Amino acid sequence: MAVLATAGALLLAPAAVAADGDKVTKTSVDQEYSVTVAAQFTRPDGAMLSRAVTYDPKLVPVNSRVTVSERANGKRTRVGLRVSGLVANRTYGAHVHTGVCGARPDSSGPHYQHRKDPRSPSVDPAYANPKNEVWLDFTTDGRGEGSAVSHNAWRFRSGEARSVAIHERRTATGAGVAGTAGRVVACYSVPFNMSKEAGKAVAGVLSKIF
């Protein structure tokens, strides 16, 4: 098995690791793709050096932890989310978004959709549903730990899924509100299904920052 670790190795640049303690494990073997990233949430700063940011430290405290994994094989994708250090016994919404996290809660843009809704914002249950999007709602336990897994029968288009956003409440499913979950309270930039080319582009951006 040939392991193409180019993008992962570039993302492991020491400066990037030092910025927020990001841990990146990544392999890409033919049609398989696997990535696991972990970080601690920080407040957004001007340069956005951290990839995990909290916009509401009451709901997602500074230094609480997040791990996201993606495993893709054939036409299937499994995304896992784990958090710790959040408010105990509380339900949060969470989804894969198209944009990277930024200084503002809406920086991560709309949800990633396999079939794109021609209307935006997308609140039509025919498009805004957990089969066409990646929903990762979770309820924390008594210690503030939570996890969720999404199984989808498709692969991310390379470079179009860039973050996991955590929202203040459970995701709604009704007509006109489907996919909404209140404010984005935290966000983690994740390199979902990143091609070698996209990995090089990210490395280029990192080399400019550092």
Beta bridge partners of 132: none
- For the chain, the straight-line distance linking the first and the last C-alpha, in angstroms and rounded, comes to 33
Q: Which is nearer to Cu ion, 16 or 192 (CB)?
A: 192
Contact call for residue 190 and Cu ion (CB under 5 A): no
Q: 105 phi and psi, to 5 degrees? A: -60, -30
79 binds Cu ion (CB under 5 A): no
> Does 26 contact Cu ion by CB under 5 A?
no
Measured from the CB atom, is 28 or 113 closer to Cu ion?
A: 113
Residue 181: CB minimum distance to Cu ion, A: 6
Alpha-carbon span 11 to 74, nearest angstrom = 25
Q: Which is nearer to Cu ion, 15 or 126 (CB)?
A: 126
- Read out DSSP for 109-162? -SBP-SSPPSSSS---TTTSSTTTS-B--EE--TTS-EEEEEEESS-PPTTS--
Q: Per CB under 5 A, does 95 bind Cu ion?
A: yes
Closest separation in Å from C-beta 66 to Cu ion: 15
| Residues from 145 through 184 that contact Cu ion (CB under 5 A) | 165
Nearer to Cu ion, 49 or 172 (CB): 172
Residue 106 or 195: the one with the smaller Cβ distance to Cu ion is 106
Residue nearest Cu ion (C-beta atom):
95
Query: According to the binding rule CB under 5 A, does residue 101 interact with Cu ion?
Result: no
CA distance 27 to 200: 15
Name the nearest CA neighbour of 203 among 158, 195, 36.
195
Q: Count the residues of the shown chain that bind Cu ion, applying the rule CB under 5 A.
A: 2
| Binding positions for Cu ion, rule: CB under 5 A | 95, 165
